[in-house]
Amino acid sequence: MNREEFAELSAGHALRALSPEDQTAFDHALAAHPEWADLATDDIITASALADATPAVSPPTALRSALLAQINSEIPLAVTESQDAAAPSRPARGRWGSRAWFALAASLALVLGIGSGAVYVSQQLNTPPAVVALDRIEQADDAQSAMTTLDDGGEATLHWSVSQGDAVLVSDGLPTLTEEQAFELWYVRDGEPIAAGVFDASGGEATALLSGEMHEGDIIAVTVEASGGSPDGQPTSTPIIAIETGA
């Protein structure tokens, strides 16, 4: 995903209008590219400005429902006085960018008022992607978890959902690393390690979202690597954590 594609998702995220699949893509991209957080910040400021400038009203029930349905389905809707007007067909994904999202948001603001919604998305923006993903996993019908104990007494619990394709590792009591080291996550699939991101553990605690899509049967492992991750994409140390997700 490039920065332009992330900007498109960021606008939808700020308005609580992403599909579950796009929300997952947004979370993974932000975790992999923290330098893109400025885009998300700009979008939440824009969403908040819409809310602050618009008084709350009581819209017709049919109009409110239609708008919310369109946001959830990601299809632009022309807001008119007639509810019989046909909505235009969905444009190509690449054209559904920030301007389209916020034009739709402005229409919604005019009939709904989104003050409370801006508070919510502000909270969402300040919530780490790993925590958002963990909440999504826990709400999935196939949510699963497994815990392991580290050799030095620490603990790690893996939460995952195959349907969501997400895995989040919550750990406590991890060893202290130097500034030149980092923890690296891995999917071990069919005996082959696949890098899934690096993370730090302040005070030995961490909630880390694995990048990429997890598959049923993966072993989730953590190794200690050089800061920034293994230079050749292969583990260079024995895993301190290894949790099976089942076949």
**Domains of the chain and CATH, by start:** 3-127 (no CATH), 140-244 (2.60.40)
Position 2 scores a pLDDT of 85
- Which has more confidence, 200 or 118? 200
Whether pLDDT at 222 is above 90: yes
Mean pLDDT for 78-98 is 43
Mean pLDDT for 192-201 is 94
Mean pLDDT for 174-195 is 95
Whole-number Å distance between alpha carbons of 218 and 173: 24
Of the listed ranges 69-73, 177-181, 239-243, the one predicted with least confidence: 69-73
Q: How confident is the model at residue 123 (pLDDT cuts 50, 70, 90)?
A: low
Mean pLDDT for 95-114 is 53
Whether pLDDT at 79 is above 70: no
Q: How confident is the model at residue 203 (pLDDT cuts 50, 70, 90)?
A: confident
Whole-number Å distance between alpha carbons of 181 and 57: 54
Position 72 scores a pLDDT of 52
Whether pLDDT at 26 is above 90: no
Of the listed ranges 154-163, 166-175, 198-207, the one predicted with least confidence: 198-207
Position 217 scores a pLDDT of 94
Position 247 scores a pLDDT of 58
CB atoms within 10 A of CB 147: 11
Whether pLDDT at 31 is above 90: no
- Which has more confidence, 64 or 160? 160
